[in-house]
Chains A and B, each alone.
Chain A
Amino acid sequence: GQQLNQSPQSMFIQEGEDVSMNCTSSSIFNTWLWYKQDPGEGPVLLIALYKAGELTSNGRLTAQFGITRKDSFLNISASIPSDVGIYFCAGQTWNAGNMLTFGGGTRLMVKP
C-alpha cells in the first residue's frame, strides 16, 4: 500500500527558532494535508494543498505541495511553546475516495 515517510521523527528546539519537516512518498498524491495533534486530542487540520507547486500559509505556518506530487513540507517560523505537539502529513488520491494516508508524525518539543 501507499506509504508516507515523514521526517524528522522528533525535534527539540529553542523558542523562536524556525522548524521544517517534510513528507515523501513513492506514490503520487492529489491532495496534501498537514495536521497537528495535541496530547489526548484528535488531529486538527492546519493546511490543505490541492495543486502541485502550491505554497500556502496559515499564520506562522507555510506548506508546499511538491512539484512531483510525491512530497510536501511544512515550515513553522518563530516557534512558541504552544507549537508543541505531533505534526502529521497526510496524502489523498482521487482513486481512494476520501481515504487519507498518514505519515508517522513529527513530535515537536519547544524549550522556552
Chain B
Amino acid sequence: EAGVTQSPTHLIKTRGQQATLRCSPISGHTSVYWYQQALGLGLQFLLWYDEGEERNRGNFPPRFSGRQFPNYSSELNVNALELEDSALYLCASSPSWTGTYGYTFGSGTRLTVV
C-alpha cells in the first residue's frame, strides 16, 4: 500500500512569490492535515481537510490556504512568500475525521524562500 506522497520534495521560491505544495493521502483516507516544521522546531498545525471541507485551521495568516479535491488529495498554497516561511511542510492523512488514532505522515516538502 502506498503511503502519503508529497510533491515536490524540494521547492525554492523568491520572497513575494507563491508556492503550491501537493499531497496524496493513503487510499481510503478522507482526512488530510498540513503541518509546518521550521528548522529545529516542533510541528505547527496549519490546516485540516475532510471530505472536501476545511475542518480546522491553525494560527497562521490567510496567505496560507488550501483545498481538498474529490479524490481526497490536497493542495497547500502559500501566497506572498516571506523568508520565515522556509520550513518543512508535512502532510498527513487518516481514515476519518472521527478517528483518534494518529496520522500517517508523508516525507514532506522542503520549502526554501530566498
Q: Nearest CB to that of A89 among chain B residues?
A: B42
Count of A-B residue pairs with CB < 8 Å: 69
Evaluate contact between B43 and A102: CB separation under 8 angstroms: yes
Chain A residues lying within 8 Å of B101, measured Cβ to Cβ, are 48
- A6 and B43 alpha carbons, distance in the complex (Å): 13
Q: Nearest CB to that of A46 among chain B residues?
A: B102
Within 8 A of A (CB), among B90-107: 90, 92, 94, 97, 99-107
Report the minimum CB–CB distance from A39 to chain B (whole Å).
11
- A60 and B50 alpha carbons, distance in the complex (Å): 35
Whether A98 is near chain B, meaning CB under 8 Å from some CB there, is: yes
Within 8 A of A (CB), among B60-102: 90, 92, 94, 97, 99-102
Q: Nearest CB to that of B41 among chain A residues?
A: A104
Report the minimum CB–CB distance from A33 to chain B (whole Å).
5
Evaluate contact between B59 and A1: CB separation under 8 angstroms: yes
Chain B residues lying within 8 Å of A101, measured Cβ to Cβ, are 45
Q: How many residues of A contact B (CB 8 A)?
A: 29
- A98 and B44 alpha carbons, distance in the complex (Å): 14
Evaluate contact between A42 and B90: CB separation under 8 angstroms: yes
- A79 and B83 alpha carbons, distance in the complex (Å): 38
Give chain B's interface residues, CB within 8 Å of chain A. 4, 31, 33, 35, 41-45, 48, 50, 55-56, 58-59, 90, 92, 94, 97, 99-108
Give chain A's interface residues, CB within 8 Å of chain B. 1, 4, 6, 30-31, 33, 35, 40-45, 48, 50, 88, 90, 92, 94, 96-105
Please give 17 more A-B residue pairs, beta carbons under 8 A apart, in addition to A90-B43, A98-B48, A103-B42: A6-B42, A30-B100, A40-B107, A42-B90, A43-B105, A45-B103, A92-B100, A94-B100, A97-B55, A97-B97, A98-B31, A98-B99, A98-B100, A99-B33, A99-B58, A100-B102, A102-B44
